[in-house]
Structure 1
Amino acid sequence: MTSSPVTTTVAAVLVGVPLTCAVVGPLLAPLLPVPAGSGALQPAGPGHPLGTDALGRDVLQLALTGGTTVVALTVGALLVSYVVAVPVGLVLAATTRRTTAYLTQRALDVLLVLPSLLVLLVLAGTGRRGVGWLVAGTAVLQLPAIVRIVRSAAGAPSRRVALETMAQSGEPWWRIHVVETGRFVAGPVLVDAGTRGVMVLTLLASASFLGVGLPPDTVDWAVVIEQNSSSLFLAPAALLVPAGLLVALAAGANLLVDRLADRTGAVV
């Protein structure tokens, strides 16, 4: 397709800009001169290229420093969920105890009916707040879907002959069902991780926007959006810049996942 390179380039730019802000921004922010005595809702001008927000903070500084928490929490929640779910899915696919596998999957599926934001609301309402609870709660909510994907991919009929051949040749159980099968499911898992990353990003940003995620004194794009939600017409940059960075990150990641799925032929 002639549009594929263009799509890839657009996706890379959309993802690259917010990721650069998140990774390199905190190193660049201290180098920016900030005039003393800056007031709230100042328009763009010398010393404040994007103006100030409702709390008198420089919007450019917020854009450069507010993405670190978003990216770190998203990556952390994904890592925890896949580190737990992938081995569980491989074991469930390999076990001959079908009743145990069925009951385990059904127990995990209970989490599927729980609204994600409601779970985070309950955690916050019972005093379980902070980065640790936020990452753990988000990761647990992803487990049933990831386990189901890994188990389905590992149990594909096309793999049975290869696995039986390895078993007859005397290969150990762990090499057959963990190493070799793990390599086989890597493609679908990678594509799922890209799609799930956008979902986790959206969930964490929504939680912070609603005040049940990160503390209000955290410099975070979603928190900044919530703090400036009533200042759209007075200081549009304070709202639109962090919102645009979040949207660009999510949209670019979706496009990259589509391109990755096209290349690998994986379907999630």
Structure 2
Amino acid sequence: MELKSRTEKGGSGLVRAALIVGVPLLLALLGPLFAGEPGPRTASFGLGGGHWFGTDFVGRDVGRQVLLGGRSVVLVALAATALAYLVALPVGLISALTRRTWLEELLMRPLDVLLAVPSLLMILLVAAVLTPGPVGLAFLVALVNIPDAARIVRAAGAEAAARPAVEALRLQGETWWRTAVGYVGRSATRTLAADAGVRLTGVLYLVATAAFLGVGVEPDAADWAVMVDRNRTGLFVQPWAVVVPALLIVALTMGGNLLVDSALAHRKKRRHT
């Protein structure tokens, strides 16, 4: 009974986390479909004027900007996270499984150099030379996340690679793919899933911060982070233009992390029932 109660509580926590992340995610993905055509801009900055959340710093409807502003943040963050793991997974697994020290050094030492440079500083340095759009921003954010992700993959895979089962697979002549992905990768799934939740949170904050600083988006773009930046000077005149997009970003980042943690905890409890 106690185990069943814990499982039910874990399931309810999973539902709550899904609801927290679901609201901003649905707004980001489906919001543009309901935004409609832009109305005439007003000459005022503030509440009222027939708009639920008032108008922003250039007289646009804040509600419509909220519906339009999440897609860029979410898509760039998801693309950056996927790109980071697309490189980090093979690099980390090769480093964990190889018996050649020189190959491990060749793969990991350049990443350590990148890891020494603060993420936001690297993005700002590149942005000072180039002018990245959303695609360029996704690649930049992925680049600064690859070193840390690769080290996590390597650390998680090294423990599994040292097991006798891996040596048995080698003696049986199994392919590298089956050994690395089929056994070592599956053994590290829990660690990598937990890291993915934390990393997506960090990537979302990094993408939002870059957009806040004007990297990868236009200064007046319909973007949640840009809305916070451009409207913050009038926070006490028009709070909704700042509070609504800021809360959506926080809900998206915190909800994503809570969702992964709740899913892992729920899976663990189900395995013990």
TM-score (norm 1): 0.90
Give, in whole Å, the separation in 1 of the partners of 2:49 and 2:143. 46
Question: SS where residue 75 of structure 2 aligns?
Answer: helix
Question: SS where residue 66 of structure 1 aligns?
Answer: helix
Give, in whole Å, the separation in 1 of the partners of 2:91 and 2:132. 27
Aligned to 1:77: 80
What RMSD over aligned residues (CA atoms) do the two structures have, in Å?
2.1
Aligned to 1:241: 244
Aligned to 2:26: 20
Structure 1 position 261, deviation (Å): 3.7
Aligned to 1:41: 45
Aligned to 2:61: 58
Instruction: Write the mapping of 1:135-146 to structure 2, written as runs, cut at 5 A.
Output: 135-146=138-149
Instruction: Write the mapping of 1:245-264 to structure 2, written as runs, cut at 5 A.
Output: 245-263=248-266
Q: Is the 8 A contact 2:219 2:226 kept in 1?
A: yes
Structure 1 position 132, deviation (Å): 2.8
Give, in whole Å, the separation in 1 of the partners of 2:115 and 2:150. 12
Residues 180-228 of structure 1, C-alpha deviations (whole Å, 9 max, x = no match): 3223323322221111000000011111112233221321000111110
Q: Is the 8 A contact 1:120 1:213 kept in 2?
A: no
Structure 1 position 6, deviation (Å): 4.4
Instruction: Write the mapping of 1:2-21 to structure 2, written as runs, cut at 5 A.
Output: 3-21=9-27
Q: In the alignment, residue 194 of structure 1 is paired with which amino acid?
A: G
Give, in whole Å, the separation in 2 of the partners of 1:50 and 1:126. 38
Q: Which moved more, 1:137-146 or 1:170-179?
A: 170-179
Q: In the alignment, residue 42 of structure 2 is paired with which amino acid?
A: S
Residues 121-163 of structure 1, C-alpha deviations (whole Å, 9 max, x = no match): 1111112422232111111111111111111222215762211
Q: Is the 8 A contact 2:89 2:153 kept in 1?
A: yes
Identity %: 41
Structure 1 residue runs of 4+, over 6 Å off?
Answer: none
Q: Is the 8 A contact 2:224 2:246 kept in 1?
A: yes
Structure 1 position 172, deviation (Å): 2.1
Q: Is the 8 A contact 1:39 1:52 kept in 2?
A: no
Give, in whole Å, the separation in 2 of the partners of 1:40 and 1:257. 43
Q: Is the 8 A contact 2:137 2:215 kept in 1?
A: no
Q: In the alignment, residue 217 of structure 1 is paired with which amino acid?
A: D
Where does structure 2 lack aligned partners over 5 or more consecutive residues?
1-5, 269-273
Instruction: Write the mapping of 1:1-268 to structure 2, written as runs, cut at 5 A.
Output: 1=6, 3-30=9-36, 36=40, 38-44=42-48, 46=50, 48-157=51-160, 160-263=163-266
Where does structure 1 lack aligned partners over 5 or more consecutive residues?
none
CA 1:4 to 1:257, structure 2 compared with 1: closer, same or farther past 3 Å? same
Tell me the matched-pair count.
262
TM-score (norm 2): 0.88
